[in-house]
Amino acid sequence: MTAITHYDADIYDLMHPVSVAGDIKWYCQKAASSRGPVLELGAGTGRVTVPIADAGVRVTALDRDAGMLARLRDKVEALPDEVRARVSIHQGDMRSFTLGEAFALVIIPFRAFLHNVTLDDQLATLKCAHSHLRPEGELSLNVFHPSLEYMSAHAGSQAGAWRWSGTNELPEGGFVLFSDASRYDTVRQRVHSLIRAEKFSAAGDLVDTQIMRLELAYLYPADIRQLLDQSGFDLVRISGDFTGRPFERDGDELVIEARKR
């Protein structure tokens, strides 16, 4: 068994092989409307980066995890020349980076912003994004809304209980079984999670087990508004999903659009 404290590139791609609730289409539309260039923070293995480049927009991908970026570089190398030329890759921390370029749009997809677990980290990331935007440039990101129903299901005797979360078939045969265990710190607004990936052969034998330990912040709409205001952004809207529906349900995704003040 291997215990790690970050996303493993192989496991990440198995867990998230396609668009999540329409996020890729939405970010690609935002990128096209901005006309680029686009900066993606927390780009990972390029689940959103590559479709943006394929849509004809120049995109810069930034992530601090070397393993995730190595997988992204492999994907980019396999792209047609004209698409590959639209992608730039940088290793760096979203809280403190300098790229020497101003962007029309900065995006932080798939809840990557929540890896900033302290207020100082959150403000540092937003201010760094602000400094890399053109005048009136836009910021787009999404985070989960802290559902009281979901949190209550992971409290008390259920805190830290292991739950099956999915099974993905492997191209070479066999499958990976995913499960997770979470507990919520409602004082500091953080969620502590263990994600277990168990790889089985086609014969059903357990081949490998990896456990990823993650700590994420969680934010309410009022928190987001205050963070954006303190970082020099005007909030455009908070939607409840990627169709633009107003935020109105406990379990909604918070889809955030802001503009550089």
Q: What is the pLDDT of residue 116?
A: 98
Residue 4 confidence (pLDDT):
52
- 4 vs 240 pLDDT, higher one: 240
pLDDT higher than 70, residue 3? no
Higher pLDDT, 27 or 19: 27
Is the pLDDT assigned to residue 1 strictly greater than 60? Answer: no
Phi–psi pair at 60, nearest 5 degrees? -110, 125
Is the preceding peptide bond at 37 cis, omega within 30 degrees of 0?
yes
What pLDDT is recorded for position 257?
Answer: 98
Q: State yes or no: pLDDT of 2 exceeds 60.
A: no
Helix (H, G, I), strand (E, B) or coil at 97: coil
Rounded to an integer, the average pLDDT of 119-142 is 98
Domain stop point among 182, 198, 217: 217
What is the average per-residue pLDDT within 82-110?
Answer: 98
Regarding whether 238 and 209 lie in a shared domain, the answer is no
Q: Which pLDDT score is estimated for 224? A: 98
At residue 196, the pLDDT reads 93
Judged against a pLDDT cut of 90, whether residue 10 lies above it is answered with: no
Question: What stretch of H or E contains 135?
Answer: strand 133-144
- Claim to verify: residue 163 and residue 180 sit in the same structural domain: yes
Q: Based on the fold, state whether residues 66 and 104 are members of the same structural domain.
A: yes
pLDDT at position 17 = 67
Q: 135 and 187 share a domain? A: no
154 within some domain: yes
pLDDT over threshold 60, residue 5:
no
Q: Are residues 72 and 30 in the same domain?
A: yes
Which residue is it, tokens 């954006």? 228
By C-alpha distance, which of 240, 243, 228, 236 is closest to 257? 236
* pLDDT (0 to 100) of residue 8: 73
Can you say how many angstroms the Cα of residue 254 is from the centroid of all Cα atoms in its chain? 13
For residue 197, the one-letter residue type is: A
Distance CA 233, CA 248 (A): 23
The DSSP secondary structure of 192-259, one letter per residue, reads: EEEEEEEEE-TTS-EEEEEEEEEEEE---HHHHHHHHHHTTEEEEEEESSTT-PBP-STT-EEEEEEE
Over residues 63-74, mean pLDDT: 96
Distance CA 139, CA 30 (A): 10
- Domain of 181? 148-217
Residue 14: band (very low, low, confident or very high) from pLDDT cuts 50, 70, 90? confident
Q: Are residue 186 and residue 200 in the same domain, yes or no?
A: yes
**pLDDT, tens digit, 9 for 90 and up, residues 148-203:** 998 998 989 999 999 999 998 988 899 999 999 999 999 999 999 999 999 999 99
Alpha carbon distance 174, 184 (integer Å): 33
